[in-house]
Amino acid sequence: MSSQEFVSECNRYILHIYFSEIDIMPYGMAFFKSRNTGHSWIIILGANGKLKTLHRHTDSDSYHSQNFPSKTIEEIIYDIICHDSWQLKGRPTRSAPIRYTYALKKGL
C-alpha cells in the first residue's frame, strides 16, 4: 500500500459520523478518536506496507499496540467498532458494525 492509497482508504473508512478529531497525514499516519468510547487510535503505514494500530483509553494514557488480525484499513475500522461495542456492552455485538456499514453505504 502506498501513502496515497493509505490516505484514500482512511478518507473512505474513517467516518466523521463515528469518529472525531480525525487527522490523516499524507506520509502514512492517521489519528482519530471514537465518539462512543473516547478511545484514541493511530493507524501507521510501515515502510514494508503493513499497517500497525495503536490505541489508548484516555488522553493521559500512553499508546499501546493493538494486535488486530486486520490487514486493511476497512478491517481495522471494523475491529475498532467491535472493540467499542465490547467496551460499551461488555460483550461483542454486531449492531455497531451494522450501523457503520449503513452509514458507509449512505455516504454519511
Distance CA 41, CA 86 (A): 16
Q: 95-106 vs 73-89: helix axis angle to the nearest 10?
A: 140
User: Is the confidence at residue 92, as pLDDT, over 50?
Assistant: no
At 3-56, the pLDDT tens digits run: 888 899 888 888 888 898 899 998 999 999 998 888 999 999 998 888 999 999
For the chain, the domains span: 3-106
Cα-Cα-Cα-Cα dihedral of 55, 79, 44, 22, to 10°? -70
Identify residue 71 by its one-letter amino acid code. K
Helix, strand counts (H, E) of the chain = 3, 5
pLDDT at residue 94 greater than cutoff 90: no
pLDDT in tens, 60-90: 999 998 887 778 999 998 888 888 887 777 6
User: Residue 82 has what pLDDT?
Assistant: 85
